[in-house]
Every structure is written in structure tokens, then in C-alpha cells.
Amino acid sequence: LKRGVNQLRTLQAASLLSPSATASIQSMAGWSLATRLLSPPVGRLMLLLVINAGANDVMKGIAYTPAPLKQVGGGLPLDDFMSEAAKPLWGPDGRGDLAMMKHLGANAVRLYGNDPRQDHRSFFDEAHGLGLDVIPGLSDWPFVQMEGNCMQTGYDCFEQVKEAYLGNLRNGWLLPDGTYHPALTQIIVINEPDLKLPGITDPWNVTRGLISAIDGMLSAEQEAGVTGDRVNFTVTFSFGICYSCRQNSAFGAKPGLGQMVQLHYGMFNPWEFSYTPKNDLTAFFETRFTNSFNTQNSAADIELLFLAAYQDTFPSTPIFIGEFHATQPARDQAGDILQILDIARASSLFLGVSFFEYQVRYDKGGHEMDYGIFGLGNYSLEQFDYFGSIFDVWCLQPITNAASSTSLPDSVALAFGGESVDAAMLCLADPSKVPLTAEGLGLILAQSDAAHTAVFVTRVVQQSGGSITDSQGLLNFSASVTTFDYLLASLASEPSWVTWDALVACMANRLSFEGAVGLAVEKACDATWFNCSNVPPECSADAWDFADYVLSVHYNEKGGPALSNCYFDGAATLTRVDEGSSQGVPSCVVTKDPSTTPLTDEGFQAVLSMGVVARTVEFIRRVVVEMLGAMVSDESQLSSFASSPPGSMYDLTQLLSEASWVCFGNATVCLPDPKSLPLTDTGFQQVSSQQNETRLAEFALRVVEHFGGQVVDPSGLLELCRNVTSLVDLVSGLESRPAWAAWEDAAACIAKDEADSSSVALTLEYACLYMNAFSCASIPDQCTSSLMDSMDYALSVYTLEHGGEVLPNCYFQGTLIFARPRVVQLVGPTCVVSKDPLTTPLTDEGYQAVITQQDTEQTASFIHRVVDERLNATIVDASELAMFAASPPSSMYDLLLLLEGASWVCSGNRSACWADPSTVSLTEAGFQRILAQNFSVPMATFVARVVEHYGGRVVSQGGLDGFAASVKSFEDIITEMEEQPRWAVWSPEAACILDSTSDAAVVGLTLEYACHHAWFNCSHIPEMCLRSDWDKA
């Protein structure tokens, strides 16, 4: 090792390594680990590793399936761990698994489960931001699991796989410009097909299935409009020997190789497998295919059994190991990984490995539990909703390497050139992530570490709209903190080590999870005067934009402490607003900054609340220019108008449209300056009417710059200006990126800083005028209370009438709209008529939008809402609903008539709807079901059961009946039980024991819950009570 270090210094002295490269290498944690190694061979390998650090290194991946289960089975609803639902596991505000992989030195993450219906963009963004390549795979669903899978269609997988992959491409795998997400490097078509499609003894059908699947993926790319560089595909085989496959005769049967040779033959000769491809599979294999395999063999085995034969058989096709982890016999994993990476570096074809795997799979049991860098500890960081089921985010616990004193995480870090793991910190509450509550502070104070407390205090300060200016003052204060109330009271006194921002706004926390943000939006909508269906269209297309708008309006209304009105358990955050700049503040956040707040009634009210005429002037000027496409011709009249403004945005736009000091069209009094005119068709016509080529070129120059261009040949710009008559013509002339200008590759249609949040109010009159069949007089009453609601309804109907396409998303009435295309994701019922049965209005238009999909499940969801919300009734037979939805009536009128007479719809107090008070759960939900019956006898029965549960016995029926008649909430019952009313007798020796009717599974869950939530350490249960789970519980 010493010789190796000296050799490194020699390389530096010979200028073979730059000083900065050497400094970078020696600063790596891997280097300090290497200096502690005593084994010369491992030291040599480590030296090879660090010398290559910083160059284009080989693949150092980690296989990732973080099932949040600690027992065999457990019933995962889905295994798509790159979905938004799994963000509490991999995200930065959760357990941070992706960041941990980066910490260990990995540069790639390999995945398995994949639901094409889920959006994976957030996972890819996070991985890419950390420098991790992503290697996802298609799931087994289209191949062997779905109804009508490949095995049921003669191993022709084209249609099934095409449909699945098309879903992936449309859910985050492609960027808006049609290129693949930069995080993606390899796509696994299927994992170990030789073990299941149908198996290694039937290579003909395996090959037919694979070539048709790849053909389907290529067709999916075409249909999705993929552009730019394509990602490589791979098929990951097992390391078994396929004696029935074609072989390289020079080497004979080799593990894994026969399967690859067989697939290669099929790609070049698909007709021999009774398949006619729709794409050129030969060209694809030669340019875009990578071989891969999984193995439990050691590095030495790979070199001996496989590599030479592979390189002779496939001299130009790259390969990687999708699962690498030899466990039998036990070995030093660091040495084995270092050796396989060294082998990869010496090969021109071998890309590297993915170590198997990140976390122990307790749910699989058996030998599958021999793998895993980390196990799961007993501390739950939080709970999360994973596709309808609640799971714990368990802390990680390093697995010990049986053949080494080094833990498996540290072994991987050593081999990958990463950093060692502080195991003691993994199962401690993280001050940067715990809730900003008294409970969260208690977890941190229990660590008795002022530095950790300081991190928590800093987060509270930032969430309250402040910044730390004196770190020593922060530390001194943190050492004195004892309670959350003391912390808040101290900050309220404005200590000297904090400065407070003058202008702040509430927005959705991008580190939070989409589900949590959705709940925050629901709470905010319920707690504010603002009608959340009035969120403007440009802020309704994306869940985060929608949340920004709602949460900011809620905070503007409520004010007060941000922890009370802008936190929502971490789903919202307070952000600083730099006046006049949109930096750091998304465009849908309603702020009090007149230059950036949305041009809506809520934005107008926020500005008016400041009571500053100059701010009102700036906002009104934006309305004139950006919304009305006009100019202010008399500044003094604008100031006079702003000193006594109207009370609503609607009145403002009406008055401005008639104001003598607002200039439209070609009125010469405007004397428009092409350098300040809005980039709209109105602005274009205003400058064009002057018939001045130079001034028109000045306007056009701004349009060029707006689209990320820089004019290098003015004559080309002038020539274009001579041939255009509208802004549409001008933009069309620029879309080809003419050579007389230099263009930024990353330019997109977004507003410049000084024109941020530009948008156009799509008018109700326009939509109503050009409607095909719908009359705007038929807009339902609930959507006529505000102009925004009416616009939502009319424009969404207009969209559906015009083939479902959105209104022109770059121009509308000649005005530029600067916004990225986004998926519409509305929260709760709105006035937007869509095909979503959960949000579309309960009107005939909403009904027609749903039933045109001819989807029984969607229709049933809509009808369910009609029963609940319109008829205030209950469905008592779901099967009858499904049959009814399969052949629905043609109009909302007929639907209501039929539902009112349906035997499976229960209205009022009909006994079929009632819950049984003797069996309903003793929970808030159970209480509400009994309360809804509005009858005292069931409530008395329910309360009597609660009394018995608390160890009591009713002795006065009159007392019980009197209390049951007065109870208003489940909390009332609990409070009464705690006071032990005199109409019942109570056992002084009551204790909490198991219900004798509980089954073993319930006993186990109960025991786990109690041990997790009690101060008592369950490892201290006395020996006499360890005989069974019943005794333990």
C-alpha cells in the first residue's frame, strides 16, 4: 500500500495527475479507508480505484427494492418504488435512500417493479441531481401476470409490452421535448426471462417473446414521438447454463452465454421464430443493445467461466452485471467488488456491476434474506400511504459482513470510493427532517446535542420568515431550549441573531410528498373563504402549481404564525419574496409583490392589502399591458385611479377597458415604444402600424431574445420583418432557428425575469361565441357565482367539443402564453368539465364527458358521486351499481330518474343503510355511522360497548340514555369515560389485555404497535411471559 501511495505521488510529479485531481482523490473518504487496509492485493485494487476516480468510471450500481416490510409476505399493494408514493423512502425529506447510495459511492441505481400508470419524473430528477444513473426495468405484468399476457398470446408480446412502455414514456421517462430523461442509461426489457418466459428449457418461445417485446418498445417510441439520443435496451438473463440454446462452438456451453447467443440469433432471424417485426431489429441490436446477466458467483468465477468466451462471441456488444453478490461461501465483499470493478476497467465491453441489493427483503424470506446492504431497524422515521396501505419508514441498520469485521455498507463504500456510514446516526431522529412540533423537538432534545437542536431551531426560524445572522448566538440559544413553547416565545421577541424578511409567501414544499401536499390543499380549501375551484387555468394543470396558489391565498387570508397557517405537517413552506424578482418563487404563488403576483383577483387583493399606491399602480400597469394588450397614456390618471381602486379584479378590468387613459389599437396618442410594448399581437400591430422598419425590427429583436436567440446578422432580421403581418408570422419565422441568429440549445418558451408570470385571461365571451352545441346559459348555478368558475366551466366544455384538445397553448387571440405543458391534476370537485369522474361537475356535461370513455369503472365512480352528493343517499349493493354502469342511460336527467327508483340506492333512514351499533368499530368512523342514524337507541348501545371496553359496567340505563342523547362527537364519549360517570361502575383493577376473540395475526400486530409506541423496552419482558405472543402482548 505504501508503494502504491508513493506511485501516486510519482504520477503527480510526472504531471500524469494534476494537483487538483490528486487533491480530489486524497480528500475522498475512500482514500482514508484505503490507508487503513493492510492487505497488499486489496491495497493495489484500491489504488487502481482511486487513480480512476474522477474519470469516466465503470458502473457502480445498487439494486433497489426497499420493501417496507419486516415479515414474510405482508401484502405490498404495488412494488413500484420509483413512484411518487414511495418518495418517503428515497426522497430527500424522507429516509433519503438515493442520497445514501450516492454517499456509498454508487453512480447508478437498478430497479425492478414498474407501474406504467405512475409518474416517475420525480425519482429520475432526484437521482439525476445526485449524479446517479437510473436503470429501470419493465415489470413482469405484461409478460406473465396480466390477463391476456404474452404466455396467453403464443409468446407474441408486441401489443402488451408496447402499451406498457408507452405508459412509461408518457409518465416522466421523456422530457417535454421528446428526449429521454437524462438519468436513464439502460432499460431492462425483462429480468431473467429464461426462468419464466416460459423457461430455460424452451428457448424458442423465450426468444419469440423477447424479440416481439423489443419490437413493441421500439414502436412505442415512435408513437410517443421520441427524439434525440435513444437509451440502450437490455435483457437481463440468469447465470444458468442453457443446453438447448445456440452456443459458441469454440467454448461450449457457458453460463448465461447461450441465452445471449440465442437472442442474438432471433434478432437477426426473427422469421425463424414465426415473427414478423415492424422495426429493424438487426440495426437496433448493432447500435442500441447491451447484454446483461445476474449472478451469485464471485469475481474470479466471472473471469474464469464467462468473460473470455463472451468477448470472443460478442466483440462489440457491451455487457454489465445486473445483480452481483456472491454469498456462498462467505467472503470479504469489499475485495470481491474491487476485483470485479478492476476486471471491468480492463475490458472495453464490461460496463460494471449493480450490487445486489440495497435492503434485506424480509418479505421474501429464506435465502433471499442473505442479501441486503442494510436491514431495517426498530425506529420508524414516519408512516406513509403507499397506494392505500399505511407502512412505516423504518430506519436502516447496517448488515455485518460475516467474513469481515467491516459492515456491508462500509465494504461497498470502500469498493465504490464512497464514504463510511455512521451507524449510530441511522436510527436517531434527524433534526433536519423531524416535524416542527413539540414532539419533534422532544426527539431532538433527547439526543442532548446542542448542534442538533440548532439545526431544528434554524428550520423553525426559516419557516417563520427569518434568517440566521449569528451562528454563535444560535448555538448559545439552542443550548438553552427546553420546550417548544419556550422556543416560539423566544423567537417572538425577535432575538438579535435573527433577521426577519419583510415580504414572504407560502408555497408547497417541493421536498414533501404529493399525497401530503394534496391533504394540505384540502385543509386549506376547507379553512378559507376562497373557492378553490377558482384557481386560474394556468395554475390548475399541475398539482404543485395548484397547491402553490391555494396555500399562498390561504396564508394571505389567515396571516399569523407561519407554523400555524403555512406548515401543514411540512407540506407547505414559507419563502422569501425578493421584490421585483421571480427567483425562487413559482409563478402560481400569490404574493404581495405587484410585479410578480398572478394577475387574478387573489393577486389583486394581496397587493391592495398593502395599502401602498405605488404597488397598486405597478399591478394595474401589468393588467393593462399583459392582460389587455394596451398601454397607459397618462401616468397621472393611472396614479389617481390607483389611489382609490375598485374592489375586485372583475371591476378593475371593466373600468380599464373603458378608461380614456388606456390606449388600444392604432391610436396615435399611445406613441408605443417597441422596446417596452408587450410581446403580443396587439403590441405587434401597434408598432407595425407606424410603418417604420427600424422600429418593427426593434420589436422583433425582443421576440428573438425572448426565444433564447441573439441576432448576429441584422439584415436577416430586417428581411423577416418585411414579410410578416402578425406576431404569428413572426414566431413562425423564428421556429426554424434561422442562421442569422445564434440560439441557446436550452431555450424554452418562458418569460424573462422582467415579464415573469405573463398570462392571458381566456375570456368567457370567446368560448361561448364559438361553442358548437352548448349554450353558456346552461352553466350550472354553482359555477356562476364567480367569473372564474364560469370560465372554468365554459372553457372546459369548449375543449371537449373541439376534440378534447386544449385551447392553443402558445397563442390565444394573438397573445403569447408563457407556460410549460403539464398534466392536468385537479384537487377535488371543480367547475372544470373533464373526463375525471371524481372532479367533473355533476351536470349533464360532466356526465357526457365521463360516459364517452365507455369505461364502466369510471362511469360507476361518477354515479357513486351522484348518489352521495346529489341524492344524499347510499349504495347498498356495489354489484348492482357495476351492472347499471355497464349500460348507463344517455342523459343526466334519465340517470337521476332511474337512481331515485333503484332498489340498490338507499335514502334517508332506511334500515338497509344502518350500521349495527353492536359490531361497528369503536372509532371516529364507527361513531359517525351511528350518529348519522339520528336515533338514541343505537347510540346508547355503542356507548355501552365503549364503557365495557374501559372496564366499566352500566348500572343506570337512564343515565346512559341521557348521555347518549346528548353526545355530539366521539371525543365527548372519551372525555366522559375518563371522568368515570356515576351511571356506570368501574373496576379499580382494570388493565389493558387482549380481546379473547383476536386471531394470531392481530396479536402480532398489536404487540408490534405497543412495543413501538411505549417508553418500555420490550426486550425487558420477563422470561415467564415469553412463552407465547399472547403472554408477551
Q: What tens digit of pLDDT does each residue of 492-517 get?
A: 888 989 988 878 899 999 888 888 89
Burial 222-247 (b: 16+ CB within 10 A, else e): eebebeeeebbbbbbbbbbbbeebbb
Helix (H, G, I), strand (E, B) or coil at 389: strand
The whole-number pLDDT of residue 41 equals 41
The whole-number pLDDT of residue 380 equals 93
* Number of neighbours of residue 863 by Cβ within 10 angstroms: 25
Top pLDDT among 990 and 803 is at 990
The rounded distance, in Å, linking the Cα atoms of 947 and 985 is 9
Q: Is the pLDDT of residue 229 over 90?
A: yes
The rounded distance, in Å, linking the Cα atoms of 183 and 120 is 11
Amino acid (one-letter) located at 342: D
The verdict on whether omega for the bond into residue 198 sits within 30 degrees of 0, i.e. cis, is yes
The whole-number pLDDT of residue 1011 equals 80
Lowest average pLDDT, out of 85-89, 345-349, 376-380, 893-897, goes to 893-897
The rounded distance, in Å, linking the Cα atoms of 265 and 339 is 32
Give residues with Cβ within 8 angstroms of 270, minimum separation 6: 211, 276, 277, 281
For 657-662, what is the mean pLDDT?
85
DSSP of 64-96, one letter per residue? ------SSS----S---TTSGGGHHHHSTTTT-
Identify the H or E element spanning 953: strand 952-954
pLDDT class for 938, splitting at 50, 70, 90? confident
Q: What tens digit of pLDDT does each residue of 58-95 get?
A: 999 999 999 999 988 778 899 999 999 999 999 998 99
Find out whether 72 and 362 touch, Cβ atoms under 8 Å: yes
The rounded distance, in Å, linking the Cα atoms of 267 and 273 is 10
No. of helices (H) and no. of strands (E), the chain: 43, 24
The whole-number pLDDT of residue 927 equals 79
Backbone phi and psi for residue 643, each to the nearest 5 degrees, phi listed first: -70, -20
| C-alpha cell belonging to residue 285 | 441490436
The rounded distance, in Å, linking the Cα atoms of 538 and 546 is 9
Q: Chain-wide mean pLDDT for the chain?
A: 83
pLDDT class for 817, splitting at 50, 70, 90? very low
DSSP of 758-809, one letter per residue? ------HHHHHHT-SS--GGG--GGGSSSHHHHHHHHHHHHHHHTTTPPS-S
DSSP label at residue 632: E
The rounded distance, in Å, linking the Cα atoms of 515 and 37 is 47
* Bridging pattern class, strands 984-986 and 952-954: antiparallel
* Number of neighbours of residue 726 by Cβ within 10 angstroms: 14
Give residues with Cβ within 8 angstroms of 322, minimum separation 6: 63, 110, 135, 188, 191, 234, 236, 292, 293, 294, 354
The whole-number pLDDT of residue 605 equals 93
The whole-number pLDDT of residue 809 equals 28
Q: Is the pLDDT of residue 770 over 70?
A: no
Q: What burial class does residue 786 get, using C-beta atoms within 10 Å of its C-beta: 0-12 exposed, 13-18 middle, 19+ buried?
A: middle
Q: Is the pLDDT of residue 476 over 90?
A: yes
Find out whether 144 and 151 touch, Cβ atoms under 8 Å: yes
Beta bridge partners of 191: 236
Please state whether the predicted TM-score (pTM) of the whole model is above 0.75. no
Helix (H, G, I), strand (E, B) or coil at 153: coil
pLDDT class for 1019, splitting at 50, 70, 90? confident
Helix (H, G, I), strand (E, B) or coil at 320: strand
pLDDT class for 756, splitting at 50, 70, 90? very low
The rounded distance, in Å, linking the Cα atoms of 778 and 892 is 14
The whole-number pLDDT of residue 347 equals 93
Which residue is it, cell 487513480? 51
Listed in sequence order, the DSSP H helices in 908-998 are 924-931, 936-949, 957-966, 970-978
Torsion over CA: 111, 115, 116, 120 (sign) = negative
Beta bridge partners of 376: 396
The whole-number pLDDT of residue 395 equals 95
Q: What tens digit of pLDDT does each residue of 956-981 get?
A: 888 888 888 888 888 888 898 888 89
Give residues with Cβ within 8 angstroms of 936, minimum separation 6: 961, 964, 965
The whole-number pLDDT of residue 206 equals 96
The rounded distance, in Å, linking the Cα atoms of 83 and 386 is 10
pLDDT class for 25, splitting at 50, 70, 90? low
The rounded distance, in Å, linking the Cα atoms of 22 and 32 is 13
The whole-number pLDDT of residue 120 equals 95
The whole-number pLDDT of residue 821 equals 25
Q: What tens digit of pLDDT does each residue of 599-620 get?
A: 999 999 999 998 888 889 889 9
Find out whether 867 and 875 touch, Cβ atoms under 8 Å: yes
Torsion of Cα atoms, 691 then 696 then 697 then 703, to 10°: -160
For 888-899, what is the mean pLDDT?
89
CA angle 263, 266, 268 (to 5 degrees): 115
Q: Quick one: the chain helix, strand, coil %, rounded to 5?
A: 45, 10, 40
The rounded distance, in Å, linking the Cα atoms of 755 and 753 is 5
Beta bridge partners of 61: 108, 354
Torsion over CA: 14, 16, 18, 23 (sign) = negative
For 13-39, what is the mean pLDDT?
46
The rounded distance, in Å, linking the Cα atoms of 11 and 640 is 76
For 688-713, what is the mean pLDDT?
81
Find out whether 346 and 48 touch, Cβ atoms under 8 Å: no
Task: Name the percent of the chain lying above pLDDT 70.
Answer: 82
The rounded distance, in Å, linking the Cα atoms of 624 and 641 is 13
| C-alpha cell belonging to residue 230 | 435513444
CA atoms within 13 A on the CB side of 327: 17
Q: Is the pLDDT of residue 637 over 70?
A: yes
The whole-number pLDDT of residue 415 equals 93
Backbone phi and psi for residue 398, each to the nearest 5 degrees, phi listed first: -55, 135
| C-alpha cell belonging to residue 508 | 408547497
Top pLDDT among 702 and 444 is at 444
The rounded distance, in Å, linking the Cα atoms of 642 and 932 is 52
Give residues with Cβ within 8 angstroms of 256, minimum separation 6: 237, 238, 239, 240, 293, 295, 306
Q: What tens digit of pLDDT does each residue of 164-204 get?
A: 999 999 999 999 999 999 999 999 999 999 999 898 999 99
Q: Is the pLDDT of residue 11 over 60?
A: no
The whole-number pLDDT of residue 783 equals 81
The rounded distance, in Å, linking the Cα atoms of 570 and 429 is 16
For 313-334, what is the mean pLDDT?
91
Q: What tens digit of pLDDT does each residue of 910-935 get?
A: 454 666 777 767 877 667 767 766 66
Q: What tens digit of pLDDT does each residue of 141-162 get?
A: 999 999 999 999 999 999 999 9
For 738-744, what is the mean pLDDT?
81
For 420-442, what is the mean pLDDT?
92
Backbone phi and psi for residue 681, each to the nearest 5 degrees, phi listed first: -65, -35
The whole-number pLDDT of residue 139 equals 92
The whole-number pLDDT of residue 30 equals 45
pLDDT class for 760, splitting at 50, 70, 90? very low
Find out whether 216 and 170 touch, Cβ atoms under 8 Å: no
| C-alpha cell belonging to residue 964 | 347518549
pLDDT class for 631, splitting at 50, 70, 90? confident
Give residues with Cβ within 8 angstroms of 1005, minimum separation 6: none
| C-alpha cell belonging to residue 737 | 432557428
Helix (H, G, I), strand (E, B) or coil at 649: helix
Top pLDDT among 964 and 777 is at 964
Task: Name the percent of the chain lying above pLDDT 90.
Answer: 45
Ramachandran region, residue 466 (left: φ > 0; alpha: ψ -120 to 50; beta: rest): beta
Give residues with Cβ within 8 angstroms of 36, minimum separation 6: none
* Number of neighbours of residue 16 by Cβ within 10 angstroms: 11
**How distant, in Å, are the alpha carbons of 7, 8, 9, 18, 317 from that of 14?**
10, 10, 9, 9, 36
The length of the chain is 1033
